Amino acid sequence: MNNYTTQSDFTLVGFFSQSKYPALLAVVIFVVFLMALSGNALLILLILSDTHLHTPMYFFISQLSLMDMMYISVTVPKMLMDQVLGSHKISAAACGMQMFLYLTLAGSEYLLLAAMSYDRYVAICHPLRYPVLMNHRVCLLLMSVCWILGSLDGFMLTPITMTFPFCGSREIHHFFCEVPAVTKLSCSDTWLYETLMYVCCVLMLLIPVTVISGSYTSILLTVLRMNSAEGRKKALATCSSHMTVVTLFYGAAVYTYIFPASLHTPEKDMVVSVFYTILTPLLNPLIYSFRNKNVTEAMKKLLGVKPFFQESLKEVIYKE
């Protein structure tokens, strides 16, 4: 404790320092950031503007896009500004705010993916009861629970992490204030806190994974019993999109918060974090739009593609 420092700023080392071409890497991340923002914003716009997409599934997808836009905006702008300005400092208050936001959004997204799997389970396994079981009120209730429980995760872990005494170096070997990376800087005994955080994260991941596994097992069994090949194809296409997102997001989270510390290195942690903070927000709109017929039809309507071809066809017929 003799080395305890009152300095309030941390230094984010980031992964640009590990790259031979940091400027090129910054440009790539900036392009990915813009694509993620525009893709998710477009998906939300399509869902809001097309009445055919005013269903529970697309309501949850719009919320997922909103979370992804906020999620990537919590980490990437700061990281890019640090590279451009050459300053990697972040105040304790800003670090705590960044930590709270990413914990809240990540926790909410874990639960939202479980709610989306339940929605698909009801739609495929109980289609006749779907309008009752997934009415507007139920959707709002599920969405509220996701946001509230996610924020509890942030309110619980952030204050404890940021009140630890930090000694010596205040260099965070990460590109944002992630809990494990900040906790490593503490000069106090954090064993009990890390154990409690481990239990909390296991529960936050185990409960949604259980819901998702149960839902998709039931869906798979129902799909295999379907007589309609078209119905099987549509159900599997929808579910495979969802499972791609779940695998990417949960896989990275399990490595970060559940795998033992002996398997972690700062470099590995940063690479894995890129998957759920940068790549997942980029991939979500691509997975849910280009593989979804309803969304592509809504996009054509928004861009006026269909009316244009219809008018052209009418002109050709009229001339003939």
pLDDT band at 3, cuts 50/70/90? very low
- pLDDT, tens only, 198-218: 888 788 888 888 888 898 888
Helix axes 22-49, 280-290, angle to 10 degrees: 40
Work out the pLDDT band at 87, boundaries 50, 70, 90. Answer: confident
Which residue is listed with tokens 């080395």? 3
The torsion of the CA quartet 219, 222, 225, 227, rounded to 10 degrees, works out to -90
The mean of the pLDDT values for the chain is: 82
DSSP 304: T
Q: Is residue 315 part of a domain?
A: no
Contact present, 174 and 12 (Cβ < 8 Å): yes
pLDDT at position 92 over 70: yes
Task: State how many domains the chain has.
Answer: 1
**Using an 8 Å Cβ cutoff, are 255 and 201 in contact?**
no
The predicted model scores a pTM of 0.84
| Residue of 283, 200, 274 lying closest to 243 (CA atoms) | 283
Dump pLDDT digits (tens) for 272-300.
888 778 888 888 888 777 667 778 888 88
In a domain? residue 184: yes
Range of the domain at 31: 10-303
Q: Is residue 135 part of a domain?
A: yes
Q: pLDDT tens digits, residue range 121-164?
A: 999 889 899 999 999 999 999 999 999 998 998 898 899 899 88
Structure confidence at residue 271 (pLDDT): 79
8 Å CB contact between 25 and 278: no
* Position 168 pLDDT exceeds 80: no
In a domain, residue 224? The reply is yes
Q: Report d(CA 73, CA 36) in Å as an integer.
A: 10
CATH code (residue 48): 1.20.1070.10
Residue 267 maps to a domain: yes
Mean per-residue pLDDT for 208-232? 81
- pLDDT level of residue 96 (50, 70, 90 thresholds): very high
Per-residue pLDDT at 134 = 93
4 within domain boundaries: no
Residue 313 included in any domain: no
pLDDT band at 316 (very low <50, low <70, confident <90, very high): very low
Q: How far is CA 48 from the centre of its chain?
A: 20
At 246, the pLDDT band (50, 70, 90 cuts) reads confident
Tell me the CB-side half-sphere exposure of residue 146, using CA atoms within 13 A.
22
Asked if residue 292 is part of any domain, the answer here is: yes
Q: Which of the four pLDDT bands, split at 50, 70 and 90, describes residue 8?
A: confident
For residue 240, how many other CB atoms are within 10 A of its CB?
Answer: 12
Percentage of the chain beyond pLDDT 90 is 28
